[in-house]
Structure 1
Amino acid sequence: METPGPADSSYAFGNDAPEAADRHVQLAALLDEFTISRLSALGDLTGRRCLETGAGGGSVAAWLAEAAGPAGRVLATDVDTQHLPAPAPYEVLRHDLEREPVPDGPWDVIHARLVLMHLPSREAVLRRLAAALAPGGALVVEDFETTFRKLVLAAPTMHAAALVDRYHVLLVERVLAAHGNDPAWAGRVPAAMLEAGLTGIDTVIHARSWPGGTAGALLIGANLAQARAGFLAAGMTRAELDELGRLVHDPRLLVRGHLTYSTIGRAPMPCGAAPCDAC
């Protein structure tokens, strides 16, 4: 396969595209239940200070605002905030996580879903996020691990299965790679958190099947629509893209959602606040 050129750090699926709203809807349907279960595992969030990075359509920020209540604070950030509702039950800040300092904290919860995998300086960003936590605060990083193949569990024809597989390979190896995406980053997050000084590292890996016409399959359609030029440049034909666009609505297609790694790490408590090896 041809080696891709230098990575472009701009996001392949920016919020300024007409298809972005559809992506946010599908991602919320795909991941919110899992994400909320992980955030709920942090304990009572009443009164907590929460930072939601890469907030997208705002579904997780809205849940955090309800969980934190009026005594808490939730700040939702994104490089493009146009898809966040106005007014919203949380603060909104247009912010570039890679190029600007972390918004003033300290924060009791910082959540980043499908954000760091797209940032070339992801390790440095994770260290800055970890440093912005209050003692005992939790950093929750959720990203797709897309190196694992076998996306298709069932398809109407062998040709259809091969076409979805080709889509996945080109998405990972060409379209996203050209923008600095790291498909294996999710599996390195636990080690990166440990290196950043976080403790109690806990990772849960989630995936489920999605038939045509539901969120996991429709996300493929949203990706094709938003990155059509990238897929054409990577070698797919217009006829293949159109066929895939129809296929994602076919209930005979059954795809596996990407493996989602959800990793939680906590900032150490001050010595004496809780038992630790140094005390």
Structure 2
Amino acid sequence: MPVTAFSPEHADPPHSGGPSPEPEQQTAVDKALILLKSLAEHDRDVGVSELARRARLTKSTAFRLLGILQRNELVERVGSNYRLGTQLVDIGSRVYGPTPPLLQERLLPHLADLYELTHETVHLAVLHGTEIVYVNKIHGHRAARSPSRIGARLPAYCTGVGKALLAFDHDAAEGAIEAGLPARTEYTLADPDRFRAELRRIRQEGIAYDRQEAAIGLTCVAVPVMGPLGRPVAALSVAGADHRFDTSRYAGALRRVAHEAARAVTAAKARGAVPSGGGGLPRA
């Protein structure tokens, strides 16, 4: 089957939380949640007609529910379009308890440093089970199309940040392998032996790559941010369009920034500002 580039505009409506009820069984809450999920799939503001189509609702129903969500600050209206609201962002930041905001606070300045050094799209991510969660993202005018969004999850095995973290977490890596390594593109490392060999290389060299493995046309280079217990608490990456992106150009900047970030996490732990687990998300 041919593999195409990631395109949120043509993706099916998301059902990551399990199968949605049949249309005739949907409550108003179901429909509102489907609208929120549809909005989350876009990196742009979306009109009510498109949202209604993606959520398989009538335009009048979508408009009425969006009004309710807007009153509760879960969505914002921008002209005739909609986007996720600030209240939803605040709720999302509390999903895994107090640790992620602390980690983000400590590492955000280093992510900003990385962007200033590269002027490419940069990510901060943490491991949750066999998935990665994007804690933060900064991009400039040359941002490549990417499935990464703040708060979004992706399988760890096919991303640079994910492999940088799995390389130092044997249980999570084996869990990912046991769950299967479905090829998201023709370049995904779907063979368990090759994948384990790649993780060994990452442990030795301290740097990971995503060579169009999560999405066609997207390449990135990533490094772990090591915590005081000798295990990574997060990962940083630089990403760009494959046709112009030279991963070797950014390896040095990534290593330097990750080293400074690790020092900041260790110092914060010594002051009691970061929980003893290092600041990452709890295991799934």
TM-score (norm 1): 0.32
TM-score (norm 2): 0.32
Question: RCO greater where, 1 or 2, for CA within 8 Å and sep 6 or more?
Answer: 1
Higher helix share goes to which structure? 2
